[in-house]
Structure 1
Amino acid sequence: MTYHQCIAASWLGMAVSMLFSHADTTWAETKAELTLESPRRAFYRGEVVLIVVKVANIGESSLADSVLNLKLAECVERTSATFQLARGEERRLSFRLPTAAIRSGVYKLNCTLMSKNLAAAAELTEPIIIGSQPKPDQMLIWLWGGSGNQW
């Protein structure tokens, strides 16, 4: 992907994320709100992706023993340490996700906040675009044969 293709893919990812994030969130029982604060949604394959998720408690009670689970492309999973969220409190959690084992394409990033009080306090689904590495600007030259007069 060229630089301009990455920018276009990022804009496309943001447009698609608006559709995904509200469609997959259950607002009726939500006690917490998840927001993806990472500025990029498009990455090169092999790049280590930094994902920042803001967790906000919008319920009437505190969330005890909360854990945030992230899953990208059904093969990269991360789980946060256990934390507490008081009423009205916000917390930003960051994760590093390797993308070397993932092929180029559009994948769903699933974020699920699990709490001791509730089975699933909040869920968020965002599209993440993984693009192939750009080709180098130099051409490799391979000399087949031996040296000197051995052609």
Structure 2
Amino acid sequence: MLRDDLKAAQIDAMKAKDKERLAAVRLILAKIKDRDIELRTAETQPDDDAMVIEVLQKMAKQRRESIEMYRQGGREELAAAEESEMKVIEEFLPQQMSEEDTKAAIEAIKAETGATGMKDMGKVMAELKARHGAQLDMSKASGLVKASLS
């Protein structure tokens, strides 16, 4: 389980006295704890690994946006700090699908669902997320689906 891997990484970082990695792992665990608290009142509980992956993907997306904004603002030291956190986050994410694999998955889903135009984008995106949500950055996939359907 990813949660166990994260706790083990926290212990390893403490033993190695790697303060940056330890801070990043603690941040991840704190976000997961926040999500656990949010889900206490939910009627259905998602799979634990799926929930952890969702949290990690959201954190990675936030880091990418922050890095871009810091670079535009000329704050290279802050961008470097975000990149180091991003590397730790990406260690725990599953291997992402390549662009070619993503396009192939989109074409397969289009063929199965009979999607032909932009009106079918929601149907294709929903199926893509259901099948490959953990291995895809859905914002990038959205652009590929849009290009494929137009």
Tell me the TM-score normalized by structure 2.
Answer: 0.24
- Greater relative contact order structure (CA < 8 Å, 6+ sep): 1
Which has the larger Rg?
1
Question: TM-score, normalised to structure 1's length?
Answer: 0.24
Q: Which has the higher helix share?
A: 2
More strand by percentage? 1
